[in-house]
Structure 1
Amino acid sequence: MTDAIPGRGQYTEDARGQRLNWLRARSDTALASLERTGLDAHNLVGNVENFIGSVEVPVGLAGPLLFVGDAARGSLVAPLATTEGALVASASRGARAVTESGGVTTKVLLQRMTRAPAFEFDDIATAVRFTGWLREQRGRLDEQVRAVSRHTRLVDVDPHQIGRRLHVRFVFETADAAGQNMTTAATWQICRWLTDRLATEDELRPRGLLLEGNLSGDKKVTAGSMLAGRGTRVTAECRLRRDVVARVLKTTPEAMVKSHTATVLGAQQAGMVGYGVNAANIVAALFVATGQDVACVHESGVSLFSLETDGDDLVGTLLLPNLVVGTVGGGTALPHQRDLLTALGCAGAGGVRRFAEIVAGFALALDLSTMAAVVSGQFAQAHQRLGRARRVDWLEAGDLGVALLQPVLAQGLDDPRLHVTGVRPGRRLRGQGIASELGALSERRKLTGLHPVTVTWRPGEGSPRTVDLVAKVKSRGEEIVAGIAMLFSLCGPELARAWDRWGADTEFRDAHRRELAVYRRTERVLTDLLPRCYGLLEDDEREAYVVLMERLPDDSGPWTRERVDATLRAVAGVHGHWLGRDQELLAEGWLHRVPEPAYLAKARELWEGLVRHAAAEVPELLDSARAEILLGIVEDAGYWTQELHAVPRTLVHNDLNPRNIAVRDGRPVVFDWELATVDVPQRDVVELLAFTLGPQVTVAEVDRFLAVHAEAVAAVSPRAAALVAGSDWHRGYRLALREFLMTRLALYAAGHSQRAFDFLPRVTETAFRLWELERARDGE
């Protein structure tokens, strides 16, 4: 194989394919992700050489941020291209604080681009004479610049002599282009004119020339650029009200200024050029998204950030002295980048000042949010990762193949002679589970989530089979708890501390083991309700916990009364089988760690924190009246939880809602049992009704569904019938409703401030309607 890259200089799809195949052979790598690209090779002349494909970077929207600037005005969102978790969320939090306090004022102070050639002379005296002569040529230098570009203007000629060498800093204005290429061309034209003009002038002629002697600071952080400016010099300022700092940033103006003082001292000791928190994050993310020269992030991310109090307000200021940006030329013409610049209102001529102000405004918002996170302790929590004392060979996407699934299927189907002959990716599913998303927040290095696969195998006896399956690769319970902690770290120190204290004792602990244990059960009432399981993998060494299950049909049909009835009757089989056998269940150990009954009352700090945060952050969901209801339930938890746990208990799904229910052959199938626990059977009823009935539900409908469920539970066995008859079924429902409101609904509501749950507004309306109906029964 030749070492020459094929198709050099050719901008065609055929040449791209040749280069890609050449790299595949050279690296012995499939490179499947590079097979397709949305870019047209013909349009990349001047952007890249030896084009083989494109790399996707996720783009998230930060904001909105209110601008009251010179060129940027109104409520704007920023497209941030990043793979760093919490960046968009933190920038959005800062944007919210700034917006609620009146917005950010922004202003471009100047725009400069420099190129600094270095001239060598025979001696110091010649260099001095040349410097004097050069100053006299200003008009002719301007002519040379105009000969190259009508958009470039020479604004300064700044000589710096060092012995017989002279560095000349040519300073240009470059309109809406970043200007590196413009200034290079203009400076080269000047140098050519100089050398031609002085060809016979021995008393002035330089003996050597470098187009760039490194004085310009191109793509480097320099003190000179900080003072004189290179690129666009832009500043931003905002005034934050004390109540906004407390409510949104979860700290105080005084704490922010005190910490700012300490970090300035640290920056001085480190010899930092400028002072900032992390403006480079915004600069880099917006540069990638909009086609800027990414190599200029180094100098463009330099900033001067300051904080001070003014009365009760916190005043934040940011200066970006070297923001090298453009809205024409370079990567700004690429289709995706052009679209995002257009969305910002910055594409093309006239857009660079607005773009620079947008960068500065969002950089200030991020610095404020990050400083607040450091002050309140949220920063470490938002970036935590579970520590491990050993290296773990985690599952990766490529592991879901024949080698892994062969023993899983052979054991799961009890066929040691089964032979898997093929595994390929299946049709994409509509979404991932919430637990998987939460686990991935704290541990993104390993494969988790739902992965459809089409598997072909030959059984020991019979014909080959090809079946669509789903490999559910589970996050560890500890990772889910840590993921929620990261989410709550953005909600303020009080809630973060409460979760840190109580979160490990919630039902999320050991969720990965619990679901696998459920699928190992052989009771008919349970197996009839579950998806068909084709095998399980539980490997602690690899932290691999996999359920290989049937692929259920996508089912988004309406939740009619008949469908709710059918689901209640189906799950009642499980409820009735274990009703009153809660101690037996717990003693078997397969449910693993189940919170003690007293936990609900002991964790009052957590439930109150969830409610208060949701009431402050999403009042449209949890207004003051609803918050008072929930806080009242929490306050009385020491009493009603004792009564709750005196009611006959059983195995419950504990997450029984439409996301986890499908229909197969006309019968309900219930999946996602990772939160299964011991509780009153009415707990599943409450959740199902809250998710399916809607806010117009009546007392008569509730009573009918409760009767359907009680009758189905009683029909399971004489024991279950006696327990149903001997208990107040409706009272159990009311207690379970309190528990659902205090725990699950409050948890959803608090999380909703950071991760929108589309289902939650309707569920909240319905849940409080159910509560109102119960209060009406009592005449309250």
Structure 2
Amino acid sequence: MTETIEPGAVEYPALPGRGEYTEEARRARLEWLRAATGAALGSLETSTIDPRSLTGNVENFVGGIEIPIGLAGPLLFDGQRARGLVTAPLATTEGAMVASVSRGAKAITLAGGVASRVISQRMTRAPVFEFAGLGEAAEFARWVVGRKDALDRQIAAVSTHSRLVELDPVQLGRSVHLRFVYETAEAAGQNMTTVATWRACRWIHDQLAAGSVPVPVWSAIEANLSGDKKFTRLNMIAGRGTRVVAECVLDEATVRRVLKTTPGAIDRLYRISVVAAQQAGMAGHDIDAANVIAALFVATGQDIACVHESGAGLFSVDVSGGELRATLVLPSLVTGAVGGGTGLAPQRDCLEALGCTGEGGAARFAEITCGFALALNLSTMAAITSGQFADAHERLGRGRRVNWLRPEDLGPALLRPMLAASLDAPGLDVTAVAPIEDAPRSSLITELTSRGERRKTTGVFPLRVTWVRRDGDDPKQTDLVVKVKPLDQEVAIEAAKLASLCGGRLAEVYPRWRDATGFGGVHTREPAVYRSADPALRAVLPETYGVFEDPAREAHVIVMERLGTGVILKDTVDEPEAWRPRHIAAALRGIASVHAAWLGREEEVRGWLGAARTAESMTAMRELWSAHLEHSAAEHPDLLDACAARRLEDVLDGLPDWWRRMEAMPRTLVHNDFNPRNIALRAADLSLVAYDWELATLHVPQRDLAELLAFVLSPEASEADVTAYLDLHREAVGAGIDPAAWRDGYRLALWDFALTRLQMYLMVHTHRELPFLRHVVPTALRLIEIEDAVEEAGRAG
């Protein structure tokens, strides 16, 4: 039974500093809120917003919430106010939305751009006058229509920017709602028209009191006919805010190449969706224009509550002669370039970036909003028709609740047993754990999965640990790194999302093979490597303090040394010139010791790290490698031109034969991601440190050699350079290996790298720029060219 609270039983609390716009008042309100709620509110401790700037924008200011802004576009405009390339700042936390807008913008721009026009700009306010009877109400309605000019003069006395363009009495019984329709220049005008209408209403009351027209028994400044901050059919027809239209024409080739679908498929979905929208009771027809509208509203200081009415749209497509014509009308876009939140510094900056702060800025902003909303509508429809929409939202299903690791779990309870065992100090106690703020670099795999299950703690966490061996000892500090790994299926899903967003044949083929792309077991494979007692392997690993695994919690954790000032060349993937010959030689000698130790132990490696690729599986996956090549050549012709693509297609054609030959060669444990993203050298003796072993597998030892050379040599590399490193690596793996057979294995491993890993990199590069590909791709192609020449010379000899 609910307890009844008697009136007056609760004393109403007073917020401190009411009406004060000072930092002191903000702090006082923050402390009051902490005391009232018990919440720490650490994120509100400081604010970059000057309280004095917020008068008229917010009351009882206590702090700000930062919303990330992503850049969408650019989009080519051919509008009345918006012309040329425009890049839009979109404030959002919805993953893939900015990317989808950008894809639509790219398609429209490559097809010739978007035409945009503002049709009209209106703002309405509708006061109500209630009379004693129907007749009096009708008499007032007739009388007031003839007073428009006089009312316009009254309005001009209080607002220089509000111009009354229409006066429309709407009688509903004894009440007359009087629609004042204004033009408001650069402002959205909701507040200024309220002031102007209030002045007009006072004049009306004065005139009625002195004349023969019936006097209302009651009146109010608004009674909901204006549809303020609500969607209404009246405003869709008559307009409230800016009525703006955007249109584009896309040729079939651009639709296929960029949107990865066809004009006919989009047209079919459109026609079906129109009927469904009618059945659902949708007013108008739209896909997701509100996404762009809300993001631009937040970024530029518009009235966010107006998204509801502003998001109503009329989207249509038409196909003729193979071309797709798409049109979007936004009939009631409530926006402005002055007033409200547009004057705050970050919001003003975004308006300036859009070129919307001067005369005509409001109209330009409306055209830009409509154009980018059209881009998103097209991109989303394309994603639905090609199956990408569902793929991009896939998540790993779990039949149970998982008690995932939390950041606070990476503390003394986890670390003490590991440090005690690794330092042979059973009485060791961890007294403090503090994060090291140095923006650690995660592996691409960990970075990929950060897009997925965000409630789960994964990534690389540098920590400073304070500990004592036993009570009474002086405390010591150790800097270490905790790596918390995602599950293999999480990685596979996120990689599949990228493939899906690429569209075309790659999106179609990838799902069939996503579990065979090398990500299986990545969460257990690396911990197994770090647990190994093999001396050769441990010699190249970072110092390992321990491994913690709890499958029920999906916890797979490695604790290792933090590589700091004692190493060189760490994270130099974008600096190939930093790798001098002595550095390359040192890295090759280091990994060769691992190759030598595991050479010929194939069954042991399989049992330890799981199944490896075979000639049979690679041959079965040829359709995937072909789709990758097709995508890379289409999306990145600056990196993989037609000639290079044809050469790799020739390699692919012969895959069944040469992979079978490679499979018959001696194989070993390979790092399989052996490049400057994942390796460094100890400064004292140039010994190798190799980390990020999640892709470790069974392969020919030359696989690591081929990848490293692609990353650290230049596109001008000579045959002599390559031969020298080949001989060095071969001799370090073991004397007596036939040089010709070794070179043949290197050639095949290089082909394998170019067809598989390099194409995966290029797929990621479509969505997340990988600057290192600017030198890796041409270098890999140069290495293949060198091997072609060596092979040709061998035949001629």
TM-score, normalised with respect to structure 1: 0.96
- Counterpart of 2:593 in structure 1 is 573
- Counterpart of 2:669 in structure 1 is 651
3-state SS of paired residue (2:619): helix
Deviations 1:639-689 (A, max 9, x none): 000111111111100001101112334332111000000101110001111
3-state SS of paired residue (1:728): helix
Q: How far apart, in 2, do the equivalents of 1:333 and 1:410 lie?
A: 58
**Which of these residues, 305, 310, 317, is aligned with residue 300 of structure 1?**
310
Superposed, which structure 2 residues align to 1:182-193 within 5 Å? 182-193=192-203
Q: 1:3 to 1:474 in 2, by over 3 A?
A: farther
- Counterpart of 1:134 in structure 2 is 144
Superposed, which structure 2 residues align to 1:746-765 within 5 Å? 746-765=759-778
**Are the equivalent residues in 1 in contact too, given 2:727–2:739 (CA < 8 A)?**
no
Does residue 707 (structure 1) correspond to residue 727 (structure 2)? The answer is yes
- Counterpart of 2:624 in structure 1 is 606
**Which of these residues, 505, 511, 514, is aligned with residue 516 of structure 2?**
505
**Are the equivalent residues in 2 in contact too, given 1:656–1:687 (CA < 8 A)?**
yes
**Are the equivalent residues in 2 in contact too, given 1:59–1:289 (CA < 8 A)?**
yes
Q: How far apart, in 2, do the equivalents of 1:212 and 1:399 lie?
A: 55
Residue ranges of structure 2 left out of the alignment (5+ in a row): 1-10
Deviations 1:342-371 (A, max 9, x none): 011112442011111001111111101100
Q: How far apart, in 2, do the equivalents of 1:396 and 1:346 lie?
A: 44
- Counterpart of 2:4 in structure 1 is none
**Are the equivalent residues in 1 in contact too, given 2:587–2:681 (CA < 8 A)?**
no
Does residue 678 (structure 1) correspond to residue 698 (structure 2)? The answer is yes
Deviations 1:468-521 (A, max 9, x none): 222212111111111111111111152123221112112211111111111101
Q: How far apart, in 2, do the equivalents of 1:523 and 1:726 lie?
A: 28
Aligned residue type for 1:745 = L
Residue ranges of structure 1 left out of the alignment (5+ in a row): 715-720
- Counterpart of 1:473 in structure 2 is 484
Q: How far apart, in 2, do the equivalents of 1:193 and 1:404 lie?
A: 75
Q: How far apart, in 2, do the equivalents of 1:450 and 1:584 lie?
A: 30
3-state SS of paired residue (2:18): coil
- Counterpart of 2:36 in structure 1 is 26
Aligned residue type for 1:457 = W
- Counterpart of 1:662 in structure 2 is 680
Aligned residue type for 2:731 = E
Aligned residue type for 1:521 = S
Q: How far did 1:535 drift?
A: 2.4
3-state SS of paired residue (2:209): coil
**Which of these residues, 734, 739, 746, is aligned with residue 733 of structure 1?**
746
Does residue 516 (structure 1) correspond to residue 536 (structure 2)? The answer is no
- Counterpart of 2:656 in structure 1 is 638
Superposed, which structure 2 residues align to 1:66-77 within 5 Å? 66-77=76-87
Of 705-714 and 104-113, deviating more is 705-714
Q: How far apart, in 1, do the equivalents of 2:86 and 2:75 lie?
A: 5
**Which of these residues, 331, 344, 347, is aligned with residue 341 of structure 2?**
331
Does residue 260 (structure 1) correspond to residue 270 (structure 2)? The answer is yes
Q: How far apart, in 2, do the equivalents of 1:398 and 1:295 lie?
A: 37
- Counterpart of 2:561 in structure 1 is 550
Does residue 623 (structure 1) correspond to residue 623 (structure 2)? The answer is no
Q: How far did 1:428 drift?
A: 1.8
Superposed, which structure 2 residues align to 1:452-463 within 5 Å? 452-460=462-470, 463=474
Q: How far apart, in 1, do the equivalents of 2:421 and 2:12 lie?
A: 49
Q: How far apart, in 1, do the equivalents of 2:12 and 2:487 lie?
A: 48
Deviations 1:218-267 (A, max 9, x none): 11111000000110100000000011111111111111111100000000
Q: How far apart, in 2, do the equivalents of 1:489 and 1:37 lie?
A: 40
Q: 1:111 to 1:167 in 2, by over 3 A?
A: same
- Counterpart of 2:475 in structure 1 is 464
Superposed, which structure 2 residues align to 1:192-203 within 5 Å? 192-201=202-211, 203=213
**Are the equivalent residues in 2 in contact too, given 1:440–1:479 (CA < 8 A)?**
no
Q: How far apart, in 2, do the equivalents of 1:412 and 1:541 lie?
A: 25
**Which of these residues, 154, 179, 183, is aligned with residue 173 of structure 1?**
183
Does residue 157 (structure 1) correspond to residue 177 (structure 2)? The answer is no
**Which of these residues, 439, 444, 449, is aligned with residue 439 of structure 1?**
449
Aligned residue type for 1:246 = R
Deviations 1:319-354 (A, max 9, x none): 000111111111111111111110111124420111
Aligned residue type for 1:773 = I
Of 1-10 and 156-165, deviating more is 1-10
**Are the equivalent residues in 2 in contact too, given 1:98–1:104 (CA < 8 A)?**
yes
Q: 1:375 to 1:412 in 2, by over 3 A?
A: farther
3-state SS of paired residue (1:528): helix
3-state SS of paired residue (2:291): helix
**Are the equivalent residues in 2 in contact too, given 1:452–1:470 (CA < 8 A)?**
yes
Q: Would you say how many aligned residue pairs link Structure 1 and Structure 2?
A: 771
**Are the equivalent residues in 2 in contact too, given 1:621–1:749 (CA < 8 A)?**
no
**Which of these residues, 50, 57, 61, is aligned with residue 40 of structure 1?**
50
- Counterpart of 2:294 in structure 1 is 284
Q: How far did 1:15 drift?
A: 1.4
3-state SS of paired residue (1:98): helix
Does residue 530 (structure 1) correspond to residue 541 (structure 2)? The answer is yes
3-state SS of paired residue (1:773): helix
Does residue 586 (structure 1) correspond to residue 644 (structure 2)? The answer is no
Q: How far apart, in 2, do the equivalents of 1:397 and 1:330 lie?
A: 39
Deviations 1:98-117 (A, max 9, x none): 11111100000000011111
Q: How far did 1:430 drift?
A: 5.0
Q: 1:696 to 1:2 in 2, by over 3 A?
A: farther
**Are the equivalent residues in 2 in contact too, given 1:439–1:483 (CA < 8 A)?**
yes
Q: 1:322 to 1:399 in 2, by over 3 A?
A: farther
Q: How far did 1:441 drift?
A: 2.4
3-state SS of paired residue (2:756): helix
Q: 1:565 to 1:96 in 2, by over 3 A?
A: same
- Counterpart of 1:353 in structure 2 is 363
Does residue 595 (structure 1) correspond to residue 608 (structure 2)? The answer is no
**Are the equivalent residues in 2 in contact too, given 1:153–1:173 (CA < 8 A)?**
yes
**Are the equivalent residues in 1 in contact too, given 2:700–2:745 (CA < 8 A)?**
yes
Superposition RMSD on alpha carbons, in Å?
1.8
3-state SS of paired residue (2:552): coil
Aligned residue type for 1:737 = L
**Are the equivalent residues in 2 in contact too, given 1:304–1:318 (CA < 8 A)?**
yes
Of 657-666 and 349-358, deviating more is 657-666
Aligned residue type for 2:288 = N
Q: How far apart, in 2, do the equivalents of 1:307 and 1:442 lie?
A: 33
**Are the equivalent residues in 2 in contact too, given 1:68–1:106 (CA < 8 A)?**
yes
Q: How far did 1:455 drift?
A: 1.5
Q: How far apart, in 2, do the equivalents of 1:81 and 1:583 lie?
A: 53
Q: 1:706 to 1:354 in 2, by over 3 A?
A: same
Does residue 381 (structure 1) correspond to residue 394 (structure 2)? The answer is no
- Counterpart of 2:3 in structure 1 is none
Does residue 51 (structure 1) correspond to residue 53 (structure 2)? The answer is no
Aligned residue type for 2:112 = G
Q: How far apart, in 1, do the equivalents of 2:231 and 2:502 lie?
A: 35
Q: How far apart, in 2, do the equivalents of 1:50 and 1:627 lie?
A: 62
**Are the equivalent residues in 1 in contact too, given 2:615–2:656 (CA < 8 A)?**
no
Q: How far did 1:547 drift?
A: 1.5
3-state SS of paired residue (1:327): coil
**Are the equivalent residues in 2 in contact too, given 1:309–1:315 (CA < 8 A)?**
yes
- Counterpart of 2:579 in structure 1 is 559
Identity rate, percent: 53
Q: How far apart, in 1, do the equivalents of 2:677 and 2:489 lie?
A: 23
Q: 1:498 to 1:483 in 2, by over 3 A?
A: same
Of 399-408 and 348-357, deviating more is 399-408
